[in-house]
Copies of this chain bind each other. A is one copy, B any other.
Amino acid sequence: MRKHTLGSLTWIRMMRFTNQSNQLSNDFLKHFDLTTAQFDVLIQIKTFAPLTQSQLAEKVTVTQGGMSRMLARLEKDGLIERKQNWKTKTISLTAKGEQMIDEATPSQLQFQSSFFEEVLTEEEMKTLNRLMAKLEKHSREKKLPQA
A residues in contact (CB < 8 Å) with B: 1-24, 40, 47, 61, 102, 105-106, 109-110, 112-120, 124-129, 131-136, 138-140, 142-143
Contact = CB atoms under 8 A, between A and B. Distances in A.
Given A15-B18, A21-B11, A129 B61 contact: no
A42 to B, nearest CB: 13
Given A18-B15, A120-B135, A113 B143 contact: no
* A contact patch SS: helix
A76 to B, nearest CB: 25
Given A5-B109, A8-B112, A109-B5, A132 B14 contact: yes
Given A20-B61, A135-B120, A10 B128 contact: yes
Q: Tell me how many chains of this kind the complex includes.
A: 2
A119 B134 contact: yes
B120 A134 contact: yes
Contacts of A142: 20, 24, 115
Given A47-B2, A120-B134, A129-B10, A139 B115 contact: yes
